[in-house]
Structure 1
């Protein structure tokens, strides 16, 4: 399904990916590869807190996610500000 998600994001400009159902160590490899290539503007962080994972667990696992340095700000903040029109967000 990960490859299909990438294909759909390539086709539909308004489609984005948020990995809310996964602990960071289980983020799909196809999504990570896409984010590190031409999909950096199409993914954004979404956690499974407080329903399933603690913030400590999420951010401990996050250290091992293989995103490029320039992708991290987009993944963690910038894409959400743009997509959800949160202009002026601090």
Structure 2
């Protein structure tokens, strides 16, 4: 095995992955929603679906870091209210 020069220990010992338990369904949903809300590829007008409902991406806040969203009514619920 390769050894780190001058340290006297195996490099492979530093490559051990931490094993975390698999998240439950609710935690996985929250992680996915957070990843979606912080996506750098979003453009103003994009709509994302999260546990909070439909959100319209307004743009990046003045701080240049936080994404701003506006709640959007669920279009499926609105169509049920209309009579044809």
Q: Is TM (by shorter chain) over 0.5? A: no
User: RCO greater where, 1 or 2, for CA within 8 Å and sep 6 or more?
Assistant: 1
Q: What band does the TM-score fall into relative to the shorter chain?
A: under 0.3
Pick the structure with more helix per residue.
1
| Structure-1-length-normalised TM-score | 0.26
Pick the structure with more strand per residue.
2
